[in-house]
Amino acid sequence: MIQYTDLIRRVLTEGARVPDRTGTGTLAVFGHQMRFDLTEGFPLVTVKKTNWRAAFVEMLWFLRGDTNIAWLHEHGVHIWDQWADKHGDLGPIYGEQWRGSERVDTDQFFALLKGLHADPHSRRHIVNAWSPEHLPEPGIKPSEQPALGLMALAPCHCLVQFFVSPTGRLSCQLYQRSADVFLGVPFNIAGYALLTHLLARHLGYRPGELIWTGGDVHLYANHLDQAAEVLRRDPLPLPTLIQHHEPGRPLWEIEPHELEVVGYASHPAIPAPVAV
């Protein structure tokens, strides 16, 4: 995972001081890309411990089309709590945009599966979470947005595209408009690497690359010491993902216990505050 430490080094050396929505302040660059060959191991950051299980639970939650934190809580995951309303709702965020609802007409993910099967070399294998009509209203608390039919939080990882090579390898490119390098990016890499593996196995392809493309790529001002600590550590070998479910199962029926990461060794976790 030298790609990740190279990204941190770039932000620390080239980043400009930029104010942000949370008032914390950031060191930011605009535009960065990392590529991960999924045949070389599962891309979990090793220079600090990554909670891969929470990232997996979140991705399965998206695939279910769920936007309430209750299912996350059933699996011990609380990463969305601070944005939810008193009923646990988050409004029409990722899962609803992906899978459709009364408010969102299209099940984009079902269409993606059909397209990858019927026309693998199409250039339209895209799932988009950026819905302007559902974006949060400025100046309103995240927990108050769902009552208005709006997202509690605008999607950071907002668009994903898939590509099937002539040799049958499935690759994924993620566009992340807003990238919290220290806390969010390792989590997002793990989630979308999992999604690529799930789709490849389900459709009979082999995993290809995960390409992560960031827009506003930033370190929060209260993460700079932690980022410097990361650069004093050497990356460790990558682990392997094991899928225990049957290949033909609908992806939205997969349970967290059916996914396993083997051989994950990392340096200790480095605590850092979440900017809300």
First to last CA, the chain: 28
**Rounded Cα–Cα distance for residues 254 and 199 (Å):** 12
Long-range contacts of 115-123 (CB under 8 A, 24+ apart): 116/162, 116/164, 116/170, 116/199, 116/203, 116/205, 117/203, 120/164, 120/205, 121/164
**Rounded Cα–Cα distance for residues 193 and 187 (Å):** 10
Given the residues 7, 54, 129, 156, the one annotated as active site: 156
**Rounded Cα–Cα distance for residues 173 and 159 (Å):** 8
- 70's CB contacts (< 8 A; 6+ apart) are 88
Asked whether the beta carbons of 92 and 130 are under 8 A apart, the reply is no
Asked whether the beta carbons of 7 and 32 are under 8 A apart, the reply is yes
**Rounded Cα–Cα distance for residues 161 and 124 (Å):** 8
Cα-based distances in Å from 223 to 25, 45, 176: 10, 17, 19
**Rounded Cα–Cα distance for residues 84 and 143 (Å):** 5
Asked whether the beta carbons of 10 and 29 are under 8 A apart, the reply is yes
Q: Which two tokens stand for residue 167?
A: 């040799």
Q: Is 156 one of the annotated active-site residues of the chain?
A: yes
Residue found by looking up tokens 């408009």 in the block: 177
Residues taking part in catalysis: 156
